[in-house]
A = this chain, B = another copy of it.
Amino acid sequence: MKVKGALDYFVIATIFILVVFQECVNGRTFLHSIPRPHPDDAANFARWLVSQSSWGVLNTISSDWGGAPFGNVVSFSDGLPDKGKGIPYFYLTTLDPTARNALKDQRSSLTLSEYSLGTCGKSDPENPTCSKITLIGKLKLVYGNSKEAEFARTALFVKHPEMKGWPKSHNFEVFKLEIENIFMINWFGGPKPLTVDQYLHAKM
């Protein structure tokens, strides 16, 4: 009886582990190849947060809704896995308001939360120790046959394989955020001072 009970548990536990673990991995990036930098190392921390994230909220000025700030959930990539360059690239269609807005007014920002990475432990998403970053700048179309567009498509398709198969008829195009200011909170004491130059030249 004891053996039978224990073996039943063996089977049930194995199925449960597989289900739960699969769920975790599907739901968000669960394992990180680059360790979390120290919060004081602002440039590397910011680059880590951007390169480890796969999606965020991209903001534009809405022409449809009286100039309201319009946030939209988008996938992005700043390079090949663990080889991010810090500049976020997007794959957008003008069927969506975000791309249409950007073509009229390039002012934009991209916002990411460390909470999505699952590395905030028990901290609330609004707790300053659960880091967040907003890259503020101009959202620009990258012309399709440029070297940069080629780099961006590779960076995007490797991190978001299904993009490659998205309908041709939707005319998806590569956009990039040209960063002008960085707002990052990753500890107590307010936003970390960080210039775009420090961010782009961080040694990951």
Contact = CB atoms under 8 A, between A and B. Distances in A.
Interface of A: 2-3, 6-7, 9-10, 13-14, 16-17, 20-21, 23-24, 26-28, 30, 54-57, 59-62, 65-75, 91, 95, 97, 107-113, 115-127, 132, 134, 136-137, 160, 162-163, 180-181, 183, 190
Contact of A65 (B3, B68, B181): B181
B62 A127 contact: no
Contacts of A183: 70, 72, 97
* Majority DSSP secondary structure for residues of A touching B: mixed
Contact of A10 (B6, B68, B108, B118): B6
Given A23-B30, A121-B26, A190 B95 contact: yes
Contact of A20 (B24, B28, B66): B24
Contacts of A97: 183
A81 B132 CA distance: 25
A120 B54 CA distance: 14
Nearest to A6: B6
Contact of A118 (B7, B23, B117): B23
Contact of A69 (B107, B126, B127): B107
A137 B61 CA distance: 13
B75 A126 contact: yes
> Which 10 pairs between the two chains have the least Cβ-Cβ distance?
A27-B118, A6-B6, A71-B111, A69-B69, A55-B125, A59-B69, A57-B57, A13-B13, A73-B132, A75-B126
